[in-house]
Chain A
């Protein structure tokens, strides 16, 4: 069970109030007509499945009904950050890799579980 901080309600709420909505920061091609099939297919169907830090979109379905972004570690399931739509994440795979001590411990924890 997650306790998720909703950046719009400014409160921690239980996971039951939220729905995950897949990968965040997917940009629709500016000119779909000029896209190759591969580019369009990538945009429509192909999603990242990283082992580690993942940015995803969630919706506070039973609360304020706003979409927002969550940065989650896919191994430990730890939520590293939540931020509003349109904002840039402050925690990324690179920023976590830079502070080497945390990801290892996080990953070991995940492997044990």
Chain B
């Protein structure tokens, strides 16, 4: 076990928690999902986001043992567990993003630190700094084509791929965990901007927000 001081970032007391999108839903509007909606937008709030840095071989062993997911070694790769709730994404040659459901991040961090012991690595909990938005529906690809500079055509952007790119001048992590679903990992500070951009871009597809 390493000597790094860690703590659970979630408050024990039963305090009200606001997700980065709470402000946007209240102030920027949230059109309801209608039968005409070709795109549905939803937030997957309060997920645990961890950044793993270190050598691929060392981290792979620990992640496989703790999470049961292979660390993607190929650039732009994204791997999920069977439930699709936990994922590991390649960000750069020595950096991976792990997303787990609410409340699992601290446990996972502790388990990984225990597993990695004295290896050369870093784990940072960035859960508070970013949030996960989901786009679903047949119009989702077209909304993204209007917004990101990366080629999101299904022939180029296959399922199981994730890239960090530019979304309407902001940086986002764009991932495709399944055939119909796209995920955007956005910075907390850019969440409202991204949300309003998506509402505007999705207007012609009668975008609906699921809460």
Contact = CB atoms under 8 A, between A and B. Distances in A.
Interface of A: 8-11, 13-14, 16-17, 62-66
SS of A interface (majority): loop
A66 B92 contact: yes
Given A16-B149, A17-B149, A10 B75 contact: yes
Contacts of A13: 150, 165
B166 A62 contact: yes
A8 B76 contact: no
B149 A14 contact: yes
A64 to B, nearest CB: 4
B92 A65 contact: yes
A64 B171 CA distance: 11
B93 A66 contact: yes
A8 B92 contact: yes
Q: How large is the interface on B (under 10, 10 to 19, 20 to 34, 35 or more residues)?
A: 10 to 19
User: Which of A13, A16, A64: most chain B CB closer than 10 A?
Assistant: A64
A62 B171 contact: yes
Contacts of A17: 149, 165-166
Given A14-B149, A17-B149, A64 B92 contact: yes
A63 B93 contact: no
B164 interface: yes
B114 to A, nearest CB: 29
Contacts, number: 36
A13 B171 CA distance: 14
Given A10-B75, A11-B76, A63 B164 contact: yes
Interface string B116-153: 00000000000000000000000000000000011000
Contact of A62 (B76, B95, B164): B164
Nearest to A65: B92
B41 interface: no
A64 B93 contact: yes
Interface in B150-207: 150, 163-166, 171
Given A62-B165, A62-B166, A8 B75 contact: yes
Contacts of A62: 164-166, 171
B91 interface: yes
B37 to A, nearest CB: 30
Contacts of A66: 92-93
Interface string B67-84: 000000001100000000
21 contacts: A8-B75, A8-B92, A9-B76, A9-B163, A10-B75, A13-B150, A13-B165, A14-B149, A14-B150, A14-B166, A16-B166, A17-B149, A17-B166, A62-B164, A62-B171, A63-B163, A64-B75, A64-B91, A64-B92, A65-B92, A66-B93
